[in-house]
């Protein structure tokens, strides 16, 4: 698990209590895991009462289920909207990466939680097949890269590998922010990642 730099509430003062609870749960999961995180600890980290946590979520399982389901749904909806545009596959891939970086910058603890839940062995007791839903998001990346390959925009390579690199990089940066190794997400991370995925790091010689 990631060592969280601070348990103080993250984000703007205009956040609702519900939003603070979800963020606090994500941060605590990073340092304590699912079994090691109690509703009392979540309440304290979110600066609310335990009864208020129960009012919104009923149980720890429902809290983490809601956190993961809402994160995946949000990432997927934005991704679907971008890939449905009439632009080139290259333009849509760049915009997709930019959008995911924006989500990462807004809530690194939530993306770190979602990434670890999707990639860890086994399943958390959350009452739904969240890994299947995560594979749908992964599939959006894969199909977009395959489309670009058919159009001759991207070279022939394993699209699952390209998608995996992109998603893993976002998870790495999210964990780096939580651990205090990185102050904030670089503004141009989406463009840098796009360049690496499409051009590599080898210097081009004329």
Task: Using alpha carbons, select from 52, 49, 46 the residue that is nearest to residue 24.
Answer: 46
Taking Cα atoms as reference points, which of 108, 118, 120, 166 lies closest to residue 141?
166
Residues 50-97 have pLDDT tens digits of 999 999 999 999 999 999 999 999 999 999 999 999 999 999 999 999
pLDDT at 13 over 60: no
Look at the pTM and tell me if it is higher than 0.75: yes
What's the CATH number where 150 sits? 1.10.357.10
Averaged pLDDT for residues 27-33: 91
In a domain, 169, yes or no: yes
In a domain, 98, yes or no: yes
Range with the poorest average pLDDT among 67-71, 103-107, 194-198, 201-205: 201-205
Q: What is d(CA 111, CA 32) in angstroms, rounded to the nearest whole number?
A: 16
Looking at per-residue pLDDT, the higher value among 64 and 206 belongs to: 64
What does the pLDDT read at residue 1? 55
What domain range includes position 115? Answer: 67-199
**204 phi/psi in degrees, rounded to 5:** -85, 130
């Amino acid at each position: 698990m990631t060592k969280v730099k601070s348990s103080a509430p993250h984000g703007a003062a205009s956040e609702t209590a519900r939003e603070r609870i979800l963020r606090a749960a994500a941060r605590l999961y990073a340092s304590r895991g699912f079994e090691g995180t109690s509703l009392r600890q979540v309440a304290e980290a979110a600066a609310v009462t335990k009864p208020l946590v129960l009012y919104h979520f009923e149980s720890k399982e429902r809290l983490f289920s809601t956190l993961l389901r809402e994160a995946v749904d949000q990432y997927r909806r934005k991704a679907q909207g971008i890939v449905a545009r009439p632009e080139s596959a290259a333009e849509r891939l760049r915009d997709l990466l930019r959008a995911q970086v924006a989500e990462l910058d807004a809530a690194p603890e939530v993306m770190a939680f979602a990434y670890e839940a999707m990639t860890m062995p086994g399943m958390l007791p959350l009452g739904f097949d969240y890994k299947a839903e995560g594979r749908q998001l992964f599939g959006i990346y894969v199909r977009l890269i395959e489309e670009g390959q058919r159009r001759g925009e991207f070279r022939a390579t394993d699209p699952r590998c390209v998608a995996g690199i992109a998603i893993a990089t976002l998870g790495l940066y999210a964990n780096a922010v939580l651990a205090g190794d990185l102050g904030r997400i670089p503004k141009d991370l989406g463009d840098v990642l796009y360049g690496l995925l499409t051009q590599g790091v080898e210097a081009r010689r004329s």
